[in-house]
Structure 1
């Protein structure tokens, strides 16, 4: 059984994973949601105005009231900069599986922050929430995301052709990764 725990603050060596606040909207817009380099990898595309981001952040903040909602802003301990977001979603109570997704602002790519945040959220999902399996997918033209998944122990399970269609109306093939709770515990012992 999944033990829903909401979005508690999680800490790593360099990061604080915390709930977003309404006052974060401008930073979220500036650091990643308005950046085509980042948002090209996501379905909805870059935001054109901060008003779009204010609406999105408000939707996120409003959902924190439910224990089934797990969405963190990724903040650097050293500077307090909000550099991305990560969430657990699509919880299936029958299989006790879910998915994880993450976004890191371009200025913070290739510094290990995605791996560090994903590792913390996977540990939370397995140890605290009792998730059976956590899955993730990335566009095949974004192999760096697959490297992050591999570094935390996720295994590539295959590729799904034309899994998504992005904001530019382009179909994208996605590589799908997964990690079972039992394998996670066997690896970390």
Structure 2
């Protein structure tokens, strides 16, 4: 059984994972949602105006009342800058599985923040929510995301051809990764 507890604040060495707020909209727009380099990897494409981001933030805020909603802003402890977002979604009560997705602003790529955030959310999912399996996917033309997934112990399970179609109407193949709770707990025992 999955134990839902909403979106509690999570901390790592360098990050605070927290609920986003309406006042974050400008930073969210500036740091990743308006950046084609980041948004090319997602289905909806880059936002053209901050008003579009405000609407998205309002949509997220309206879901925080639900215990099944797990969506964190990724904030740097040192500066308080909001650099990305990460969420658990597509919960399946029958299998007790879910998916994880994340976006990090381009300025903060290749600094280990994605790995640190993903590690924290996976730990929360397995240890506190009792999730059986967490899956993730990335466009095959974005191998850096797969590297993050492998660093936290996820294994590539296959590639799905034309899994998504992006905002530019291009089909993208996606590498699919997964990690079982039992394998995660074994890895933790070895550390």
TM-score when normalising by structure 2: 0.99
List gaps (5 residues or longer) in structure 1: none
* CA displacement at 1:69 relative to structure 2: 0.1
Matched, 1:69 2:95: no
- In the other structure, the counterpart of 1:38 is 38
Q: Secondary structure at the match of 1:46?
A: coil
Partners of 1:83 and 1:187 lie apart in 2 by: 28
Partners of 1:2 and 1:83 lie apart in 2 by: 29
Root-mean-square deviation (CA, aligned residues, Å) is 0.2
Q: Secondary structure at the match of 1:158?
A: strand
* CA displacement at 1:79 relative to structure 2: 0.2
* CA displacement at 1:64 relative to structure 2: 0.3
Partners of 1:84 and 1:59 lie apart in 2 by: 17
- In the other structure, the counterpart of 1:186 is 186
Paired positions, count: 189
* CA displacement at 1:36 relative to structure 2: 0.3
* CA displacement at 1:182 relative to structure 2: 0.2
- In the other structure, the counterpart of 1:109 is 109
Partners of 1:27 and 1:110 lie apart in 2 by: 20
List gaps (5 residues or longer) in structure 2: none
Partners of 1:169 and 1:153 lie apart in 2 by: 32
- In the other structure, the counterpart of 2:6 is 6
Partners of 2:41 and 2:112 lie apart in 1 by: 18
Partners of 1:61 and 1:137 lie apart in 2 by: 25
- In the other structure, the counterpart of 1:149 is 149
Matched, 1:131 2:134: no
TM-score when normalising by structure 1: 1.00
Partners of 1:187 and 1:38 lie apart in 2 by: 31
* CA displacement at 1:40 relative to structure 2: 0.3
Partners of 2:116 and 2:27 lie apart in 1 by: 21
Partners of 2:187 and 2:31 lie apart in 1 by: 34
